[in-house]
Amino acid sequence: MIVELTYLELLVAAVTVFVLAIFLGFEIISKVPPTLHTPLMSGANAISGIAVVGALLLSNVALVDGNAPLAAKLAVVALVLATINVVGGFLVTNRMLQMIAGRGRK
């Protein structure tokens, strides 16, 4: 038996996930020591580069005579920005954390 979900059901499920994820976000990072404020922020920022997923999906367009439609061009710009955000964000967070944790000794 194949059950087809209607769009409305999908939407309600997505809204449910959205609301629960916000509460989860508040719960898991309620107390953060100040030493970690910057790394937490830049780490979280790298995660917000998750738009890379959408950018990849929309960049999958074949070139015609070396050219792509405007939508695909914008998607590639998004892909570059999101990848900078992700790669740069995680690397710089790692650098900071190494500095903070790695040099605890005197």
Partner 1 sequence: MDSAVWDLGYLAAALLFILGLKKLGHPRTAPTGNLYGASGMLLAVIVTLARIESETGIIGWELIVGGLAVGTLIGAWMALRVEMTGMPEMVALFNGFGGGASALVALSEVLSRLDEGNIPEGIPLYATWIAIGLSGLVGWITLSGSLVAMMKLKGGFSLPGGKWVRFPTWGPPWLNTVKVLLLFACLGFIWLSIQEPTNEQWIYGLIACATLLGVLFVLPIGGADMPVVVSLLNSLSGIAAAFTGFVLMNNVLIIAGSMVGAAGLILTFIMCKAMNRELRDVLFKAFGGGSDRETVTRTKVGSDPDEVAMLCDGIAKCIIVPGYGMAVSQCQHQVREFAEILEGRDCEVKYGIHPVAGRMPGHMNVLLAEANVPYEQLVELENINSEFTETDVVLVVGANDTVNPAARSDEGPLAGMPILDVDKARVVVMVKRSLSVGYAGVDNDLFYEDSTMMLFGDGKEMMMRLVQAMQEL
Within 8-37, the residues that bind partner 1 by CB under 8 A are 8, 10-11, 14, 17-18, 21-26, 28-37
Kindly tell me which of 1 and 8 has the beta carbon lying closer to partner 1.
8
Shortest distance, position 32 Cβ to partner 1, whole Å: 5
Does position 101 interact with partner 1 (CB under 8 A)? The reply is yes
Angle between helices 37-47 and 70-102 (to 10 degrees): 150
Helix locations, the chain, DSSP H: 7-28, 37-47, 52-59, 70-102
Residues in contact with partner 1, shown as a per-residue x/- string from 69 to 88 under the rule CB under 8 A: xxxx-xxxxxxxxxxxxxxx
Q: Does 105 bind partner 1 (CB under 8 A)?
A: yes
The DSSP call for residue 94 is H
The token duo for 61 is 């367009």
Shortest Å, Cβ 65 to partner 1 = 12
Around Cβ 56, how many Cβ atoms within 10 Å?
14
99 binds partner 1 (CB under 8 A): yes
x-or-dash pattern for partner 1, window 36-65, by CB under 8 A? xxxxxxxxxxxxxxxxxxxxxxxxxxxx--
- CB neighbourhood size of 76 (10 A): 14
